[in-house]
Amino acid sequence: MEAKREITISNCICYWIIEEPSGSKSIGTCKKCGNTKEFFNYTDTSVWSSEYNYDTITE
C-alpha cells in the first residue's frame, strides 16, 4: 500500500488554474496545494516573430 504524503506549498509541483484575463494580470490557484500566484496576460515577444527562420524546419 502506498503511503500518502501531505502536499504543502513547499513540496508541491503546482498545477495552476488561471482565471480568465481581465487586465494585465490574472490570479492562478494551484489545484493541489491552494497556493496563489499572479500571471501576466501578455508576453514581451511575439510567438510569430519575424526573427524566426522558417527555412530551417525539416519534416
Q: Domain spans of the chain?
A: 16-56
Question: Do residues 39 and 46 lie in contact, with contact meaning Cβ atoms separated by under 8 Å?
Answer: no
Q: CB-based burial of residue 22 (10 Å sphere; 0-12 exposed, 13-18 middle, 19+ buried)?
A: exposed
For 41, the grid coordinates are 496576460
* Per-residue model confidence (pLDDT) at position 10: 82
Per residue in 2-59, pLDDT (tens digit) is: 666 677 778 899 999 999 998 999 999 999 999 999 999 876 665 565 555 656 666 5
